[in-house]
Amino acid sequence: MKSYRKELYFNIPTRRAFVNITPQVEQCLAESGVNEGLILINAMHITASVFINDDESGLHHDYELWLERLAPHEPVSRYRHNVGEDNADAHMKRQIMGREAVVAITGGRLDFGTWERIFYGEFDGGRKKRVLVKIIGE
């Protein structure tokens, strides 16, 4: 069995953003040489997400509004976590959007549905963050 591990780095200048990281993940898969197996992609921070959905700008806008209704950033004083911090909403947004994605690898490719793409969701940007890519298979 082959095993591959890599960390991807992101430094998003804005507080929130969605980034299509499918090309970087496909690059990792190519480097791994795995043809049949599984790939795990997870945010290594509790204020960022990795998730799978459609790469469609209207949907990203809808997510932004939906998440902001569920867990508004302002006023930061509404959250008990925000004693010396201002990112309670980012923890909650991460919880909703998820920590990781797992994708089957078939024939050396990501075995996606037609419109599935992998995204990094940033909810407390302005600093360097990591995403783990782990691949096992043969």
| Residue nearer to Zn ion on the CB measure, 24 or 87 | 87
Contacting positions for Zn ion (CB under 5 A): 85, 87
What is the nearest approach in angstroms of Zn ion to the Cβ of residue 85? 5
| Residue nearer to Zn ion on the CB measure, 32 or 87 | 87
Beta bridge partners of 109: 106
What is the nearest approach in angstroms of Zn ion to the Cβ of residue 113? 34
3 state DSSP class of 38:
strand
What is the nearest approach in angstroms of Zn ion to the Cβ of residue 81? 6
| Residue nearer to Zn ion on the CB measure, 85 or 111 | 85
Q: How far is CA 3 from each of CA 36, 75, 84, 129, rounded to the nearest angstrom?
A: 12, 45, 41, 23
Quick one: which of 71, 80, 59 has its CA closest to 123? 71
